[in-house]
Every structure is written in structure tokens, then in C-alpha cells.
Chain A
Amino acid sequence: MSLYPSFARPRTLADAATLLASLASGGVVIAGGQELMPSINQGVLAPEVYVDIGGLAELRGITETPEGRVGIGALTVHRELQTDPRVRAQLPLLAHAATRAGGGRQVHNRGTIGGNLVAQHPLYDIAPPLLALEAEVEWVKGRETVRQPLAAMLADSRHGLGSEAILTRVLVVPMADGLGWAYEKLKASGGAYGSANAAALVKLKEGRVAAVRLVVGAVADRLIDASEAAAALLVGRRFDAEAGAALAGAVSALVAAPLSDAQGPGPWRQAMAGVVAQRALAAAVARAGRG
């Protein structure tokens, strides 16, 4: 072991995976660096080895998979999510949420979808829409390629992957025509982070809620999938003020241990979880009604 960090820039995904497997715990994957570099600059993290995956062509591109999903390479940056015609047309919820990410254009130009997800940061804006969309992730570890629901990855504090794995692709079923969607981010100040956010998808039938997905973030250390609670309250009903108030109460009740940080105190965050859920549902219903 050296006192100073070392660096490798593998040319292929297979090389990168082999190298990471050989390094045990000392290797850190880097691409855009937007998540990693602040910790390094502040001395919080001191990797022994950097494995730069920025040159791996296998992790680039936004494609349609043979099974009809949108396959988003892990190196896709936020700016591409905002502007890519396929993402805008087939996953407008994701394209919009990417515009709400913090850090400004400078960070949107370099921060990758893979880095965003692997960070598992409770205040970030990409996981809530992808969880609402029931996305899957694909990753490589040694010679093994694994595909799992994003929900499973997010449930694991080691981001489900472990230090030897590389997230390669995010897979999402295109949103159906007429599906209402919304992403609400409540920012108490002009800062980058939300105090509460919610991603909502809703299908209407004759003006009544037929199906709903709802994910609330930035209020607890993990995202809260409130889809079941929302469906129990809303399916078969019109989304009126009464239904909205009931939803807000039910979502706030799901926040067992609210975050209390620079984005606001816990009890307020718990209340705001309900507020953003209600707003997101209302906006999604309005959009579905127009479609």
C-alpha cells in the first residue's frame, strides 16, 4: 500500500470489473466525480485507488432494449436526461425531475445517473421518479451481470451493489400515453436540496383514479414508497380536496423518523411530506385529465 492514491482508467467494462474485484475494499469508482470529489476535497474520504469508468463505452447511450424498455447507460448525465428526445417523450417524469437537481448547469453537465443512484442520498432528485416508475438497475460484479429492481438496491445501505460492483444501466418501461405525472420539490430556501419531494404517476378512468404510484423523498433517510397507501385511499375516487387532505395525512403518517437538518426540522418535514404528496397527485391528475 502506498501513502498516495493510485489511478486506473480501464478500457473495457470487463477490465474494470476484474480490477475492482482484485482490489477488495480499497478501490473507489469515479466517473463525473460530482458526488465523490466534495468528500475527497474535505478529507472525509481518502481512496487508495481510483477506478475511472468515464471511458467505458459500454456505459454510454440511451437505447430501446429488445423488450421495449428505455435503457439508460450509467454515464448518462443529468443534462442528457433533460434533453434526450427519447427520455423526454417516453419518460417525461424523469426528464423533468432531472431539471430540478441541485448544483446548477455545471453539475447537470457532469453528474451521472449512475453516480446519483449509487450515492443513495436521501435529498437527491433522480431516485424518486425512477422508483415511482418501478425502474430496474443492471450491474456488473466480477464476471456476473445482475439485474434487480431499483427498490431492492435502495433498500440496501451498501447501495445493494457492494464496492466491487459497477452500476451499468437503468431500465425503465416507457410511460403509457395518458398517464399523468408530476414531480414536486419543496425548497424552503434557494439551496440545492429539497425539504420534501414527491414523484407521482396516476391513471384515470372516467375521471376517477384507476392506478397510482407515489414516492416521497427528502423527509427520511430512505425514500418512502407511498403507492399502497395512496391506492387504498384513492382508487375508484375522484381526486378532490377531501381526497387530497386524506392523502396528505396518510403520507405524513408514513414518515416514522423524519430527517431534521439544514432543510428543516423533523415535525415540519413530516407535515411537508403530506403537502408535496398532495400537490404532486393534484398536478398528475390535472395532467392526466388533459391528456
Chain B
Amino acid sequence: MDDLAQSVLVQWRVNGVLHELDVLPGLSLLDVLREQLNLTGTHMGCMTGHCGACTVMIDGRIAKSCIAQAATLPRAEIRTIEGLMGPDGRLSPVQQAFWDEAGFQCGYCAPGMLFSAIELLAETPDPTDAEIDSALAGSLCRCTGYQSLRRAVRAAARALKDPNPD
């Protein structure tokens, strides 16, 4: 029988870097990323799992970090928005497409929109508009910029299919 613990040791590889952390029961992954690892690109929005601004990748699948309890992830591979750019500091193809198409206005929703697009395009390289809408459904944009978001995902799909159009 396991004892009841007041804090839990977790081992996470975050954007390629191994961390061993003591986390308190009840805290969200979002809390730990922002407060203990200073990775503030993962945004705090609603804290109820509706808005998607806190989206990260856990073991290769996108998730809302505000409703993932940190202690329930004893070992995990975590990727945050800080881990999207290349080692040379260049934007990833999906980020670049959102930049080129002015996909964001304020950018608060960026983690949700970018990770949702990345997961969609990994599975569905040539998505329909309906598939794009469905893939972005877990993330809210309050600048009401859904047209530009959709345009950015289409551009990202083209960029991933043909990385060097010139």
C-alpha cells in the first residue's frame, strides 16, 4: 500500500530538458509550469478547461494544462509553446504560417491554436474547413479572429507539405 504523500516527486522532460520536481497535490500542470519552471508562455485563462490558452502537449497529445493535475503525471514528456521554435530560434512552420497570415490579434490564445493546429496537421495533412473548425473547437479567440485562424491553419498545411516553396 502506498502511503499518503503531502508532496509528489515527478520526473518530466519539458521541451527536452529533464526536471525533477516536488509538486503539491491539487496543483495543476499549468501552475507548476508557470510558477516553478517560469514557463509563462502557457497562458492562464479560465481555469475550467474551456478556453484552451493553457494548452501543452503531454506525451505527444495536446491537453489543457489547467485541468491536468501535476501530481498525476509522475513521468511525462511535456512540450510547451516555448518548445515549438527550432534550436536556431526560428519559428516552426506552423508558427511562421500564423505569423504570415496574421493568425493572431492579441495572441493570448496562441498555445491552444498552435498546438491544436499541430496535432490536426500531424494526423490530417490536408484538412477541410470543417476539420479545421473541429480541431480548433477546444480553444477560444476573444478577438473574434476565427477567419484568420482558419486561414493560418490552411497556410500551415501548405507549408508542411511543401517546406521549400521557392
A residues with CB within 8 A of B: 2, 4-11, 15, 18-19, 30-34, 36-38, 40-42, 47, 49-50, 52, 54-55, 79, 103-107, 109-110, 190, 192
Question: Can you spell out 13 A-B residue pairs with CB atoms less than 8 angstroms apart?
Answer: A4-B25, A5-B24, A6-B4, A15-B1, A18-B1, A37-B28, A41-B47, A50-B72, A104-B52, A104-B116, A105-B135, A106-B49, A110-B63
Interface size counted on chain B using CB atoms at 8 A: 39
Q: How many A-B residue pairs have CB under 8 A?
A: 121
Chain B positions 43 through 61: 1 when the CB is less than 8 Å from some CB of chain A, otherwise 0? 0000111101001001001
- Would you give the shortest CB distance from A234 to chain B, in whole angstroms? 32
The 8 A-B pairs with the shortest beta carbon distances in the complex, nearest first, are A104-B138, A7-B25, A37-B67, A38-B48, A6-B4, A41-B47, A109-B61, A5-B25
With A8-B2, A41-B47, A109-B61 as contacts: A50 and B119 at CB distance below 8 Å? no
Q: A7-B4, A50-B69, A110-B63 are in contact. List 19 more A-B contacts (CB 8 A).
A: A4-B25, A7-B8, A7-B71, A8-B2, A10-B1, A18-B1, A30-B69, A30-B72, A34-B67, A37-B28, A37-B66, A37-B68, A37-B69, A50-B25, A50-B26, A106-B116, A110-B58, A110-B64, A190-B137
Closest to B47 in A: A41
Residues B2-45 near A (CB distance < 8 A): 2-6, 8, 24-26, 28
With A103-B138, A106-B116 as contacts: A33 and B68 at CB distance below 8 Å? yes
Tell me the complex Cα distance, A47–B137, Å.
31
Tell me the complex Cα distance, A103–B69, Å.
17
Q: Are A8 and B3 in contact (CB under 8 A)?
A: yes
What B residues does A7 contact at CB under 8 A?
4-6, 8, 25, 71
With A4-B25, A41-B47, A105-B62 as contacts: A33 and B67 at CB distance below 8 Å? yes
With A30-B72, A38-B49, A106-B112 as contacts: A8 and B4 at CB distance below 8 Å? yes
Q: Are A110 and B68 in contact (CB under 8 A)?
A: yes
What A residues does B67 contact at CB under 8 A?
33-34, 37-38, 41, 107, 110
